[in-house]
A and B are shown apart, each in its own frame.
Chain A
Amino acid sequence: MSSNAAATTRDGAASPEPEPKPEEDREPKPVPTLTVDALTVRFSGLVALDNVSFTVAPGTIHALIGPNGAGKSTCFNVVSGVYRATAGAVRYAGKDLTRLAPHRIARLAVARTFQNIVLTHGTVADNLMLGRHSLTRAGFTSTALRLPQAVREQRRHRERAAEIADFLGLGPAFDKPVGSLAYGDRKRVEMARALCMEPKLLLLDEPVAGMHPTERVAMAETIAKVRDALGISILIVEHDMGLIMRIADSVTVLDFGRLIADGTPERVQRDPAVISAYLGTPAQDEGTQP
């Protein structure tokens, strides 16, 4: 299917050795299943997630929806290792992600974007190359001395990053500072940086929030294309119901940190609990997120 299996191979070898293997050694492996199992997160007494379980099947787009404060972002932060879970587990590729530091999770080819754009300073290329961090291994010495393998590695990965930038329509902006880009473009740089990690599991936190309608349509197509072309799993948090219903293969609905529905978009849409908790809200809140 693909060689993005980077992660799965690495994952077997990840524990004993700190540095990731060079990508040449990788063999294609199937996309693993993500299982969130009875996850509970408490912040000083406040329950953000309460015993939530769901499964993201390989190669699907799985949406996580719910009103503001439902616990969606918390869930993302636990899966990507930014927050620690109070109880429960997140199983992926034979590991419990709740026990791993974020950079170890990144080496399992789990990539994420942020609701508020979090880019580093520098050019689009710099940001995308940061996404290649786990896939490359040039260290301080070889980089400082410009040893041939470091130079070669950088060139090779820059080509791939440029390819991904082109895919997201960022080709002309590749060498521009991210600070000079428009909002929608920066949002796409986030997406491109995540894709640069050659993920098997992509976590998208409100990828179209604040975008123009035309940009939204384009981004929705891009997301669907990523799934179809790369066969990877995508977990997406989004307030744009139209977009979710169009591209999601399955939907999990959270409310007040609890899971209230789980299933296909059609089924969830008809669920009375969901309607009362969430879908009663008109889609006006789209775009209110910064």
Chain B
Amino acid sequence: MSDTLSPDASPATTAATPPDGSGGASGRRSGTASRAGTAAAGVLLLLALPFYVSSFWLQTGLFAMAAIVGAIGLNLLSGTTGQLSLGHAFFLAVGAYGYVWLAGDPSGTGSAQLYGLGLPPLLAFVLAILLAGAAGGLFSPISGRLRGMYLGIATLALVFLGHHIMLNARDITGGFNGRSVPALEIFGFSFSDTSPDGLAVLGVPFGGLERLWYFGLVLVAVAWLAARNLLRGRPGRALAAVRDSEVAAAVMGVPLSRYRASAFIVSSMYAGAAGALLALVFKRVVPDHFGLLLSIDYLAMIVIGGLGSVGGAAAGAVFVALMPHLLTKYADHLPLLSAPGTTGSGVTPGDAARYLYGAAIVLVLVFAPGGLAGLAQKRPRRTGDGTRRNRRFPFRTRTTSDSNPQGVEGTTPKEHTP
């Protein structure tokens, strides 16, 4: 431990040895080996799944993958930056419709006419993500200036405006009945049941879902790693500082508006990717899917998973995305449930799923504020920006004197003790 501080003459040449030997970005090394082992096993399992499970599971899994990508994005905004958004569904819609419009071929005539650019599908997929980012960027006069809950309500507008546009811009969106989604294709290899026809790997027929499964895995991996890198790097620290204390962040040189807007754009791009993947799995996009309920689903995912953690967001996404499908599939075998379409007195699986996750939100917040991620780590994690009350995390004291002139010296009576 040195007790002198030399001027920072040239950081490029000083200090050849890393402070703790790791020299890496995180410095956390404990248990890395066993964690890597678990991760590798998990990846192998995921890679092998299409050979063993039915298309129901593949489709449900793909829904979960789309949810994971979207939830990681919302988590960067709400969990890391402390900005609430109810507009996530809008950006999913931009990604989904963006892909369809960019990749789709023009069709129909008269009132049924649909426009489409007919771009190569992979290019369209990437452009759809950028389009969602651009839509998020257009909202930056709002997203950069509004904070926390004000932003939450303002983004409510996006969902309703988006829905309105989806219904009315018929020649792009297909209106109420939506529009069918062109299959993804990479250099002539189609992620559908055809072209190549009858593709089989190791004797297992590889149709659209099997092929998309691997595309989904790659997308999730990229989304996950990018988010983790962001959080461990300079932007992630700045975003967390914006959440924890705006005053401290600004004084450390973080331009608040720019970072708030940037977090919103990044989150929109993740939503765009999720939406485009969702479109590929559904094979049809309809406006009603992208309503307020979808936005609330995503909030539920990141809360249940644990705000601020990438892995938590993914876990929450899997929970919320799988629940309705599983309950529907096993409705006959579960007590109190009635299968959809039947007139039994039981709860429909859709309602049951909503009860479950509504209860999950409440229970998680009341009993395990760190969410699934917090439970996994067995130590309290924090959520939100916490400038008001912070008894659970006493190390960050109130910043009243910086944010509230009423509380600063000047109103305090002067002390004149003899």
- Report which A residues bind B (CB closer than 8 A): 1-4, 18, 20, 23-24, 43-44, 46-48, 67-74, 77, 80-83, 101-103, 105-107, 111-112, 114-123, 125-126, 129-134, 136-140, 143-146, 150-151, 153-160, 162-167, 169, 171-172, 174-175, 178-179, 181, 186, 193, 195, 197-198, 225-226, 229-231, 255-257, 280-282, 284-285, 290
Contact at B9–A130, with CB atoms within 8 Å? no
Give the docked Cα–Cα distance between A77 and B408 (Å): 10
Least Cβ–Cβ distance between B262 and chain A, in angstroms? 6
Asked if B237 is at the interface (CB within 8 A of a chain A CB), the reply is yes
- Scan B228-270; emit 1 where CB is below 8 A from any A CB, else 0: 0110011111101100110111111111101000100010000
Query: Is B19 a contact partner of A174 (Cβ separation < 8 A)?
Result: yes
Min distance, Cβ B404 to any Cβ of chain A, angstroms: 10
Is the CB–CB distance between B251 and A69 below 8 Å? no
Known A122-B240, A143-B230; 6 more pairs at CB < 8 Å: A74-B408, A101-B250, A129-B234, A130-B237, A159-B11, A166-B1
Chain A residues within an 8 Å CB radius of B28: 175
Bound CA span A68–B382, Å: 34
- Determine whether the beta carbon of B415 is less than 8 Å from that of A81: no
Name the residue on A nearest B6 (C-beta). Answer: A229
User: Are A167 and B4 interface neighbours, CB within 8 A?
Assistant: yes
CA distance A23 to B415 in the complex (A): 46
Cβ A175 vs Cβ B235 within 8 A: no
CA–CA, A129 and B339, complex, Å:
55
Contact A121 B393 (CB under 8 A): yes
Q: Which of A23, A43, A72, A138 contacts B405 (CB 8 A)?
A: A43
A9–chain B nearest beta-carbon distance, Å: 13
B33 in contact (CB, < 8 A): no
Given contacts A71-B410, A82-B247, A114-B402, A4 and B27 within 8 Å (CB-CB): no
Establish whether residues A48 and B253, one from each chain, have CB atoms under 8 Å apart when the complex forms: no
Contact, CB under 8 Å: A82 / B402? yes
Q: How far, in angstroms, from A74 to B409 measured CA to CA in the complex?
A: 7
How far apart sit A179 and B392, CA to CA, in the bound complex (Å)? 11
The contact of B237 among A129, A167, A282, by CB within 8 Å, is A129
**B198 interfacial contact with A, CB 8 Å:** no
**What residue in chain B is nearest A48 (Cβ atoms)?**
B410
Q: Are A197 and B253 in contact (CB under 8 A)?
A: yes
A-chain residues with CB within 8 Å of residue B410 when the two chains form the complex:
43, 46-48, 69, 71, 74, 257
B240 with A121: CB separation less than 8 A: yes
| Contact assessment for A103 and B405 in the assembled complex, using a CB-CB cutoff below 8 Å | no
Q: Is the CB of B5 within 8 A of A229?
A: yes
Whether B19 contacts A115 by the Cβ 8 Å rule is no
Residue B417 lies at the interface, judged by CB distance under 8 Å to chain A: yes
